[in-house]
Amino acid sequence: MSVTPINVNDDVLKATKTYRQQRRHVVALYLLALFVMTVLFGWLLSEQYKQEIEAAESRITARANVVNEWAKGVFAQSGQALFGLAELLALQGMPNSDNDQALKRSLENLTLYMPMVDEITVLSAEGRALASGRGNRKPDADISESAFFNAFKQAGQKELITPLYWSDIDQRYYLYHGRRLETSTGEFAGVAISSIVPEVFADALEQMSVYDGESIALVDPGLKFIARYPIPEEPFSIGSQIDSPETTEWLARGESTWSINFDSPIDGRKRLFRILRVGEYPMLAVVGIDLNELLSAWRQRALILTLVMAVIALLGAWGARHYLNRLALAHQLRQRIEEREQARAEAQIAAAAFQTHLGILITDPRGTILKVNETFSRITGYSEAEIVGNNPRMFSSGLQNAAFYRRLWKRVIKTGNWEGEIWNQRKSGELFPEWLTISAVYDVAGTLTHYVATMSDISERKAAEQEIHQLAFYDTLTGLANRRLFMDRIDTALKELQRHQRCGALLFIDIDNFKQINDTLGHYAGDQVLQRVARRMGQMLRDTDTLARLGSDEFAVLIEGVDSNHAQTNRLVERIAHKLLAALNEPIGLAEESIMVTGNIGIAIMASNEYGVDDYLQQVDMALFQAKSNGRHGVCFFDPSMQAALLAHVKLEADLIQAQASQQWQLYYQPQVDQHGRITGVEALLRWHHPERGMVSPGDFIPLLESNELINDVGEWVLEDACYQLARWAQHPRLSELTISVNISPLQFRDEQFLARVEGVFARTQAPLQQLKLEVTESLFVEARDDARDKMLALKARGVRFSLDDFGTGYSSLAYLAQLPLDQLKIDQSFVQQVLESQANAAIVESTIALAESLNLEVIAEGVETKAQQAWLLAHDCHASQGYLFGRPVTAEAIERLITGD
């Protein structure tokens, strides 16, 4: 089934995000439009307001100017009349009581022509009224002391107008306009005063056409009310004091015009005022306009605009809301589509998931199987029809007990799921491991609806794990534990032993000459030998013991918790070790031949707390080394003295390397005699002059030389020194017949470079090779026999002879003797020295002599110490001998002296 990948969740999220963004954009756009519209309307209204105010200002300014001019005209008219009067009186001179009638008439006439002037009076220089324009009114006022009158006495003061002035006589207010009268010579002659009635201003203002809300007022500089239109209601009448601190302040500033906006102190209405000083006269023209009335049209427009704006805002809000609704609807629609897509995708996924490589089984809450997938059928081998309706118990392997299942279900009920490894049974009856997950499924109300189990067949994985484990911890050839596992087991065993105060044992088993077996019989045979040996040893051990293969031919055994008694443990382990050796010694039948293997066992008893794994490994190693060194194919327990011996061994090894470097070697020669006791030859025996130890015997260091391959170099030196000796003796008539037997170690002989090295020695020394005998041991022929034979033949061709040393101690396989190019058998001294005491030894020696005779080989007995031994040997036809009886190993010079008698 192919499934189109749908990333539904991502789409839904993206769509929701876009929707929210769009919604935010619409709201932001609407608010922006609202803001712009508000700013625009606000600006429009403020502009109109400004225009209204500016228009009103220019209107009231113009009106104030008109009033100003008009008021000035009133005073100018009065001023002209007074001027004419003053001119007249200057010409005619001031009247007296006799001639004042003409002046009175003139004054009456003047008054008649100036309706705003109530009376014109002429005062004498003393302030006494000389004549008045009001008919026969008696001049009764004396104002000589008044500031107004006295001001005219100043020559420069021509004309002066008072603010509103209360006339006690007339009980009314006047504005007195005075003019200085002068004589023809210019001296102060008196004052002509015209009394201007303030009402005239009110009448004049009344004549003016004013706009609605407009007011025109005249006040004197002391803010006393003179006139106003519209006429104010009580208590404002001429002379009333107007309370306007702002105006008082302005007056103090001395400015001539002022526009201000405040509540009128007269009618309390908020007005825009234009205030002008009326020329130099003591009067202010105040034109005001009622702001309420002025702005009523503007307010109306503002109201309309606001309404329009509100309507637009509402319409916009409605449109935006409508759009948002549409968006929401579209979003919901898209969401629903996407949810449907999601559901479809989930269904697809569920279907795909159901067809997975995992086996799936679905049950109802009672455990009745409702459905399984193909994988489940394939794993179990049951078809769906065979499974559905059953209980999963049908797969039970029986390997898990009821308690296991109880725990499993307890966990499922508690936590909702369980997972783990379980063994089940296929239809075929085969048991198999599976990894099982059980999940409880609940509906939204929390009611258990199903159980879903998924499982995977882990038998292959298990097998692979097992294989990995096997490879990691077991030896592939023998199936035994490998070094890693063995070390692990020792570690664990040691802890156990220490905890339970018991003893255990470590055994290292080394198979002798396995390398030779491998080289001569091939690796396949070698492998077979190892497998057989492993099997046999395994049969000798208990299940609790661990048998391991640590290296090619190294085996080890761990014996755990044997006993708490050390001696008891020793005995038991020794018995086991001998059983193992005996098992090893059984002949092993291979395809073509049967071979014998031998081995050595080193044992360390593990008991105390003071040693760790490494210590015990070291101990068992030493014990094995000791067992091998003993050379008896036996068993050796570790004892502390070994450690010292090993150290000594290590020291000796270092000294040997030094010995070779500084040529601390010397050859001693031991005589070999014939039946007459005549020296026919010598055996070259190596001696080591150790700077501290003195003369060291080869028995102590030859095995060490062999173990680190120094034997090749030392052996070459021995051969070379012996050959030089031969070459020297060849020059001596009484020594030229002497042979020299040189010991050749099997390891030296087997070395690939052996022939080349020997040829080099021959070439360098030019020794008479027919006088040279190489002593080889039987062990040389245990393996690579053909190779040894070939080398012998090659040397034989050069005239070299061969003697078989230590005969009778080794393998003694007679069959090969005939095939080898030998010249002499050398009877080992162990037989010779017991020849008189042991019949068995005597029999061996006898048969060796007979064998040599039958093979046409010479025979020589070594280790002859007594005449009796010599006699016995001679009686049994062994004519050649070597031993202390004839001479100990000595220097070449000593041999020469012995023979030549010099």
Ligand X SMILES: Nc1nc2c(ncn2[C@@H]2O[C@@H]3COP(=O)(O)O[C@H]4[C@@H](O)[C@H](n5cnc6c(=O)[nH]c(N)nc65)O[C@@H]4COP(=O)(O)O[C@H]3[C@H]2O)c(=O)[nH]1
Candidates 160-168, 189-197, 251-259, 691-699; binding stretch for ligand X (CB under 6 A): 691-699
Candidates 25-33, 469-477, 541-549, 693-701; binding stretch for ligand X (CB under 6 A): 693-701
Query: Rounded to whole angstroms, what are the CA distances from 232 to 206, 240, 265?
Result: 12, 11, 11
Query: Rounded to whole angstroms, what are the CA distances from 861 to 460, 812, 835, 851, 886?
Result: 70, 17, 11, 14, 12
Nearer to ligand X by Cβ, of 167 and 779: the residue is 779
Which ranges of 426-478 does DSSP label H, i.e. alpha helix?
459-473
At closest approach, how far in Å is the CB of 731 from ligand X? Answer: 24
At closest approach, how far in Å is the CB of 743 from ligand X? Answer: 3
Rounded Cα gap, residues 474 and 547, in angstroms: 11
Nearer to ligand X by Cβ, of 316 and 703: the residue is 703
Rounded Cα gap, residues 338 and 345, in angstroms: 10
Nearer to ligand X by Cβ, of 369 and 685: the residue is 685
Rounded Cα gap, residues 336 and 321, in angstroms: 22
* Among 64, 686, 827, 878, interactor with ligand X by CB under 6 A: 686
745 lies in the binding site for ligand X (CB under 6 A): yes
Rounded Cα gap, residues 192 and 181, in angstroms: 7
Nearer to ligand X by Cβ, of 349 and 784: the residue is 784
At closest approach, how far in Å is the CB of 463 from ligand X? Answer: 55
CA-based angle 605:607:613, to the nearest 5?
75
Q: Are strands 772-777 and 739-743 parallel, antiparallel or unpaired?
A: parallel
Rounded Cα gap, residues 286 and 217, in angstroms: 5
Nearer to ligand X by Cβ, of 670 and 739: the residue is 670
Q: State whether residue 641 is helix, strand or coil.
A: helix
Nearer to ligand X by Cβ, of 642 and 742: the residue is 742
Pair of tokens at residue 293: 């009335």
Q: State whether residue 367 is helix, strand or coil.
A: coil
Distance of CA 196 to the CA centre of its chain: 107
At closest approach, how far in Å is the CB of 558 from ligand X? Answer: 38
At closest approach, how far in Å is the CB of 849 from ligand X? Answer: 18
At closest approach, how far in Å is the CB of 717 from ligand X? Answer: 9
Residue 657 and residue 707 in contact, taking contact as beta carbons nearer than 8 Å: no
Footprint of ligand X on residues 763-782 (CB under 6 A)?
775
Burial 384-404 (b: 16+ CB within 10 A, else e): eeebbeeebeebebeebeeee
At closest approach, how far in Å is the CB of 716 from ligand X? Answer: 11
Nearer to ligand X by Cβ, of 479 and 698: the residue is 698
Q: State whether residue 155 is helix, strand or coil.
A: coil
702 lies in the binding site for ligand X (CB under 6 A): yes
List phi, psi (to 5°) of 562: -70, -60
Candidates 429-437, 738-746, 759-767, 840-848; binding stretch for ligand X (CB under 6 A): 738-746
Candidates 98-106, 461-469, 591-599, 737-745; binding stretch for ligand X (CB under 6 A): 737-745
Binding track, positions 839-878, relative to ligand X; x by CB under 6 A: -----------------------xxxx-------------
266 lies in the binding site for ligand X (CB under 6 A): no
Nearer to ligand X by Cβ, of 637 and 688: the residue is 688
Rounded Cα gap, residues 549 and 246, in angstroms: 124
Nearer to ligand X by Cβ, of 478 and 670: the residue is 670
Rounded Cα gap, residues 304 and 382, in angstroms: 88
725 lies in the binding site for ligand X (CB under 6 A): no
At closest approach, how far in Å is the CB of 720 from ligand X? Answer: 11
At closest approach, how far in Å is the CB of 824 from ligand X? Answer: 13
Q: Are strands 824-827 and 858-862 parallel, antiparallel or unpaired?
A: parallel
Nearer to ligand X by Cβ, of 127 and 863: the residue is 863
699 lies in the binding site for ligand X (CB under 6 A): yes
Among 408, 603, 387, which residue's Cα sits nearest to residue 508? 603
Nearer to ligand X by Cβ, of 713 and 786: the residue is 713
Rounded Cα gap, residues 423 and 405, in angstroms: 12
Plot region of 707 (φ>0 → left; ψ -120 to 50 → alpha; else → beta):
alpha
Rounded Cα gap, residues 454 and 373, in angstroms: 10
Distance of CA 878 to the CA centre of its chain: 90
743 lies in the binding site for ligand X (CB under 6 A): yes
Query: Rounded to whole angstroms, what are the CA distances from 901 to 560, 680, 890?
Result: 69, 15, 15
698 lies in the binding site for ligand X (CB under 6 A): yes
Binding track, positions 652-671, relative to ligand X; x by CB under 6 A: ------------------x-
Rounded Cα gap, residues 563 and 501, in angstroms: 9
Amino acid at 218: L
Candidates 348-356, 487-495, 530-538, 696-704; binding stretch for ligand X (CB under 6 A): 696-704
At closest approach, how far in Å is the CB of 807 from ligand X? Answer: 11
Footprint of ligand X on residues 782-841 (CB under 6 A)?
805, 829
Nearer to ligand X by Cβ, of 440 and 784: the residue is 784
Residue 272 and residue 261 in contact, taking contact as beta carbons nearer than 8 Å: yes
Plot region of 212 (φ>0 → left; ψ -120 to 50 → alpha; else → beta):
beta
Pair of tokens at residue 30: 């609407």
At closest approach, how far in Å is the CB of 494 from ligand X? Answer: 42
623 lies in the binding site for ligand X (CB under 6 A): no
Rounding to the nearest 10 degrees, give the CA dihedral for residues 562, 568, 570, 572. Answer: -60
Candidates 325-333, 387-395, 476-484, 681-689; binding stretch for ligand X (CB under 6 A): 681-689
Footprint of ligand X on residues 198-237 (CB under 6 A)?
none
At closest approach, how far in Å is the CB of 869 from ligand X? Answer: 9
At closest approach, how far in Å is the CB of 713 from ligand X? Answer: 12
Nearer to ligand X by Cβ, of 539 and 697: the residue is 697
Nearer to ligand X by Cβ, of 129 and 864: the residue is 864
884 lies in the binding site for ligand X (CB under 6 A): yes
At closest approach, how far in Å is the CB of 714 from ligand X? Answer: 7
Nearer to ligand X by Cβ, of 291 and 744: the residue is 744
Please work out the total of residues on this chain that contact ligand X, with binding judged by CB under 6 A. 24
Helices 514-521, 523-540: axis angle to 10 degrees equals 140
Put the strands of the sheet holding 359-363 in their side by side order: 369-372, 359-363, 448-457, 431-442, 417-425
Q: Which residue has the tokens 């070449």?
A: 892
718 lies in the binding site for ligand X (CB under 6 A): yes
Q: How many residues belong to the chain? A: 902
At closest approach, how far in Å is the CB of 872 from ligand X? Answer: 14
Footprint of ligand X on residues 353-412 (CB under 6 A)?
none
At closest approach, how far in Å is the CB of 684 from ligand X? Answer: 6
Nearer to ligand X by Cβ, of 608 and 697: the residue is 697
Plot region of 856 (φ>0 → left; ψ -120 to 50 → alpha; else → beta):
left
Nearer to ligand X by Cβ, of 593 and 713: the residue is 713
685 lies in the binding site for ligand X (CB under 6 A): yes
Rounded Cα gap, residues 535 and 177, in angstroms: 160
Q: Give the residues lining the site for ligand X (CB under 6 A).
A: 670, 684-686, 697-699, 702, 715, 718, 743-745, 775, 805, 829, 862-865, 882-884, 889
